[in-house]
Amino acid sequence: MKVAFVGKGGSGKTTLSALFCRSLALQTQPVMAFDADINQHLGLTLGLSSADAALIPPLGLEMDRIKDYLRGQNPRIRSTASMVKTTPPGQGSRLLRVTEDNPIYHYFSCQVNDIRLMVTGPLSQEDLGLKCYHSKVGAVELILNHLLDEPGEYVVVDMTAGADSFASGMFTKFDLTFVVVEPTLKSLSVYQQYQHYARDYQVPIAVIGNKIVTEDDLTFLRQQVGDALIGWITQSEYVRSLERGVFLPLHHLEAPNLETLRSMQHAVDRCEKDWEQFYQHTIAFHRKNAHAWANAATGEDLTEQIDPDYQFTDHLPRQAFPVS
């Protein structure tokens, strides 16, 4: 299952992504985490030292390595340079599975407390003023487009703050998107924007309240978002001590917060995968990008990369289909 954490800057996306991943990993579920935020803190929040976090090769710096692997023998992708972040898989492409070993995971991932972590990397000095962060996040988009996750496997993406996450088609890739909302009007405004985009693309979203202190905080959130609020994390001493570098086992987290992590997992498990829609979104965003910039950038008509005979769903593992 693919899960995103979005929300206003500072709302708690990274904190909740990390707690959620740890809660899944504790139950020995396969978990893969992507830090796709410009502020790269997920590794630290998962328990890596800054020295170890700095050793993870950023996906965004070596896109060609990813493209080379994923395009495999796909004849519609003429060269590495003509593969862009939205290029969909077709006949001959390589697809990824969560629990396999492959050269991409081998090179880019780091295992932290049973979580396979990959990072996009920060904007480098050379990028400033030249590149936007979306080109780096494109690495994650490419991987997600080729990733066949099964029920009981979790792929968690810590996204960029605010409405920036709509800048690419990546926001359509998730079975469930958690919008982390503090009980403030500013935090809610990001939720409202998200709601609007999500509706247009049939993206399932659920609100998680964060830094809840009083009953009034909850009443406020309930009034504003109604049933979309599926749980909340309180202002937490455990999280505050994490910030001071005290990394305690997860069972030290306050009991109601542990309970919320469980209900978040149940919410994800209840989602019905729609692989057909997933693939159709991939194609639609590829067409859009081809016309907007990618054809001009590569000098090719990249819509020809869309393989009309490719049956993406034929490649799914049998378990990926809900048992009816």
Ligand X SMILES: Nc1ncnc2c1ncn2[C@@H]1O[C@H](COP(=O)(O)OP(=O)(O)OP(=O)(O)O)[C@@H](O)[C@H]1O
Q: Is 37 or 300 the residue whose CB approaches Mg ion more closely?
A: 37
Q: Does 12 bind ligand X (CB under 6 A)?
A: yes
Q: Select from 10, 57, 151, 204 the one that contacts ligand X (CB under 6 A).
A: 10
The closest alpha carbon to 267, from 201, 181, 218, 205, belongs to 205
Total residues binding Mg ion (CB under 5 A): 3
For the record, the structure tokens of 175 come out as 């079975």
The rounded radius of gyration (Å) of the Cα atoms in the chain is 19
For the record, the structure tokens of 250 come out as 């997860």
Q: Does 37 bind Mg ion (CB under 5 A)?
A: yes
Span interacting with ligand X, options 56-64, 165-173, 200-208, 229-237, rule CB under 6 A: 229-237
Print the binding letters for residues 240-279 with ligand X: x by CB under 6 A, - otherwise.
x--x------------------------------------
Which one-letter DSSP state was computed for residue 38?
Answer: S
Q: Is 10 or 204 the residue whose CB approaches ligand X more closely?
A: 10
Beta strands 205-212 and 31-35: pairing type? Answer: unpaired
Q: Select from 14, 86, 120, 236 the one that contacts Mg ion (CB under 5 A).
A: 14
Cα→Cα distances 1→85, 168, 279, Å: 21, 20, 15
Q: Does 35 bind Mg ion (CB under 5 A)?
A: no
Total residues binding ligand X (CB under 6 A): 20
Residue with tokens 């749980």: 231
Beta strands 2-7 and 115-119: pairing type? Answer: unpaired
Provide the 3-class DSSP secondary structure of residue 118.
strand
Print the binding letters for residues 206-225 with ligand X: x by CB under 6 A, - otherwise.
----xx--------------
Q: Is 86 or 210 the residue whose CB approaches Mg ion more closely?
A: 210
* Residue 236 near residue 254, CB atoms below 8 Å: yes
Smallest distance from ligand X to CB 115, Å: 16
Which one-letter DSSP state was computed for residue 84?
Answer: -
Distance CA 206, CA 42 (A): 21
Which residue minimizes CB distance to Mg ion? Answer: 14
Q: Is 30 or 121 the residue whose CB approaches Mg ion more closely?
A: 121
Strand partners for 154: 31
The closest alpha carbon to 302, from 74, 82, 135, 93, belongs to 82
* Residue 150 near residue 2, CB atoms below 8 Å: no
Residues 50-79, interacting with ligand X (CB under 6 A): none
Q: Is 11 or 74 the residue whose CB approaches ligand X more closely?
A: 11
Residue with tokens 């991939």: 282
Distance CA 157, CA 81 (A): 26
Q: Is 44 or 144 the residue whose CB approaches Mg ion more closely?
A: 44
Q: Does 15 bind ligand X (CB under 6 A)?
A: yes
Span interacting with ligand X, options 89-97, 238-246, 270-278, 314-322, rule CB under 6 A: 238-246
Q: Is 233 or 268 the residue whose CB approaches ligand X more closely?
A: 233
Smallest distance from Mg ion to CB 143, Å: 20
For the record, the structure tokens of 184 come out as 């403030």
For the record, the structure tokens of 278 come out as 């997933």
265 binds, among Mg ion, ligand X, none (CB under 5 to 8 A by kind): none
Residue with tokens 């503090």: 182
Binding site for Mg ion (CB under 5 A): 13-14, 37
Binding site for ligand X (CB under 6 A): 7, 9-15, 37, 39, 41, 161, 210-211, 233, 235-236, 239-240, 243
